[in-house]
Copies of this chain bind each other. A is one copy, B any other.
């Protein structure tokens, strides 16, 4: 019932090849076949682990993001939010952004992958902001009734920028967006 255990070196090879390919050629240049070729791993070995391209990419991303998002708690909503956004946006400017674009593309093509994406990535990010808002709410800094809307105001523009123009995600943009979100949070 046990059988030969999966070789962790294979996992690594897949992840690494995926990252390389997506970095070199973008989402279009990533194919299961290509990953297999680049990693020197058989296609079966990949399909044994993942149901499709989306999952491979999602897992490759986890290489970076495996560490939980830090949720600063400085006692000031604006400061906490700004720290989180700057870090998150900074991530999106490199490979990370390309990966996120790829994940979005995949989710748009395969409804069932959307759920997985949500569960593994989106929800964690949302929770981080929700936590920050929770602390601020305790301090009376948040009058707005809905956390969800505030979170949408944070991540909506980010994905929008990922879709249209990744270079927009500067620290300045993070600051401007933070200010806007804080303003809404103070509105009852």
Q: Is the CB of A187 within 8 A of B183?
A: yes
Q: Is the CB of A105 within 8 A of B114?
A: no
- The reply to whether the CB of A75 lies closer than 8 angstroms to some CB of chain B is no
Q: How many copies does the complex hold?
A: 4
A42 to B172, CA, bound (A): 50
Question: B27, B161, B184: which contacts A183 (Cβ < 8 A)?
Answer: B184
Question: B104, B165, B180: which contacts A184 (Cβ < 8 A)?
Answer: B180
Query: Which chain B positions have C-beta within 8 A of A183?
Result: 183-184, 187
Query: Contacts A104-B104, A159-B160, A163-B107 known; A187 to B176 CB distance under 8 Å?
Result: no
The count of residues in chain A whose C-beta lies closer than 8 Å to any C-beta of chain B is: 37
- The reply to whether the CB of A26 lies closer than 8 angstroms to some CB of chain B is yes
Give chain A interface residues in 96-110, CB to chain B under 8 Å. Answer: 101-102, 104-105, 107-110
- The reply to whether the CB of A177 lies closer than 8 angstroms to some CB of chain B is yes
Residue of B at shortest CB range from A118? B164
Q: Is the CB of A28 within 8 A of B187?
A: no
Question: B111, B158, B160, B164: which contacts A114 (Cβ < 8 A)?
Answer: B164
Question: B102, B146, B149, B156: which contacts A158 (Cβ < 8 A)?
Answer: B156
Residue of B at shortest CB range from A111? B26
- The reply to whether the CB of A152 lies closer than 8 angstroms to some CB of chain B is yes
CB distance from A124 to the nearest CB of B (A): 14
Enumerate chain A interface residues (CB-CB to B < 8 A): 26-28, 101-102, 104-105, 107-111, 114, 118, 122, 144, 146, 149, 152-153, 155-161, 163-165, 176-177, 179-180, 183-184, 187
